[in-house]
Amino acid sequence: MPWVCCSAKNDVADDSNLKPASSDEDLLRSASEPYHEDEKTPFVPLRGRVVDRRLEQRGTLLRPPPEKNADHAECDPLKEDELAFADAIKDKLSPEGRQLIEDEAASHALIRTVRGYWTYDDRENEACKSLEAFVELRRKYDLNELARGDQKTMREALRLLRQWRSMRFAGFDVYGHPIVVERVGQSLKLTDKKDIEKEEIIKGRAVCTELFQALKYAASKHHDPADPNKTKVLKHIYVVDMRNVRTWHVTSRCRDRFRSIMQTMELSYPEVAWRTYVVNAPKYLTIIWVVIKSWLDPVTTSRVAILGTDQKKVRERLLADNIPLDAIPACCGGESRDVPLSLLLGSHDSSTVSHLSELITPLNGTSPKEVVVASEVVEKAPVAEEPTTSPRLKAIALAVVAAGAVGGATMLGA
């Protein structure tokens, strides 16, 4: 679909002729609207009109079903034995930890932790460790201030989201799970920058993760506007786009920083992935996955799919998993034009919408429409395979699989 052009004056599209039909043109136009108070979420303020457009495409959302090999759905309330586990956790938490799980901003955390650590041998202590780490993460990176819409924190969050342009939003599936796309090649380039400190990299990833939680809250509210807690959407779909990932991208700095991201996000955000799709993956990654999945729990392996470069097959798989065509990213052969997360962050400061130019600025001298065509050509063009003996690329491939397996977005996602 062709893109609209904004005036160079403010990089903001004209919203005077909004059409009722949902489209990428409408998405860009609606992004120019100022943020309003009623678009707040308990996580980060969203530019509600942008998100609402994608939810309107879905109409009435279906209740998320139980996952394969699981006896509960994500939106089911905790059962009696789970409640007993939750009470045991609360007894061991610090006052700050108890306050955290009582706050609306982290109401999802207790459910995720109870179910995420259910099978652990020392589950009470491991669950407490996770929640206390979440308390520290929120304090360290000012996530509570971000949830309140503090303007200074919002400006910093916008800056960090612009750095993480590799993290994209494509839409929602029929259950309301947000679909997050990561362009791994771009993420590797970001994490390899010498002038950006590791802590800033991790903080940016934490902000991305909080925005995912806000998208889930928006979907929960779409399920039941009167009570967003009635049908909680607690998980997202994570698409890992491995296109153009090459050996020289995976430096020691990248590996070190991704390891830190993985450790931080996995500890603080368990049980966040509904499905993980690794697309445009090298052939040997499929072989590695066959070996790895034999070590993992069936519930975990059912969440991960290692897919190749055949867009038709990838698209058919996602369609079969109840992701509509208009929400399937272009990298998977779909019709959704994924957008950077910075576009979704709400703000009272209207100047923050100037980053719309990120979406319409021609790449390599081509128009946006030409970029789409060019990407289709690249898909069909033969690409030289990386040597299967490349230890660096195999290491990152293993990490991608592990990240998806333990919850999707722990290392290369959030």
SS (H, E, C) 264-297: HHHHHCCCCEEEEEEECCCHHHHHHHHHHHHHCC
pLDDT of 99: 87
DSSP state letter for 342: G
Contact between residue 268 and residue 304 where contact means Cβ atoms under 8 Å apart: no
**pLDDT by residue for the chain (414 residues), tens digit each?**
333 333 333 332 232 332 333 444 455 454 455 444 435 777 888 887 778 889 988 989 999 998 877 788 888 888 999 999 999 999 999 999 988 888 765 567 888 899 989 888 999 999 999 999 999 999 999 999 998 888 899 999 999 999 999 999 999 999 999 999 999 999 999 999 999 999 999 999 999 999 999 999 999 989 988 777 778 899 999 999 998 887 777 888 988 998 899 889 989 998 898 999 999 987 777 777 777 777 666 767 778 888 888 999 999 999 999 999 999 999 999 999 899 999 998 864 444 444 444 443 333 333 333 333 233 333 333 344 444 445 555 555 555 555 554 444 343 333
pLDDT of 390: 53
Task: Break the chain into its structural domains and give their ranges.
Answer: 41-73+141-405
Architecture of the domain spanning 41-73+141-405 = 3-Layer(aba) Sandwich (3.40)
Tokens of 210: 């909080």
Contact between residue 277 and residue 412 where contact means Cβ atoms under 8 Å apart: no
pLDDT of 396: 54
pLDDT of 84: 95
Q: Classify residue 119 as left (phi > 0), alpha (psi -120 to 50) or beta.
A: alpha
Cα–Cα distances in angstroms (integers) from residue 301 to residues 113, 274, 306, in the given order: 19, 11, 11
pTM of the full predicted structure?
0.78
Q: Give dist(CA 366, CA 402) in Å, integer.
A: 37
pLDDT of 401: 52
Q: Give dist(CA 90, CA 114) in Å, integer.
A: 11
pLDDT in tens, 9-32: 333 223 233 233 344 445 545 445
pLDDT of 71: 80
Q: Look at strands 304-306 and 273-279 and give their pairing.
A: parallel
pLDDT of 248: 74
pLDDT of 45: 84
pLDDT of 95: 93
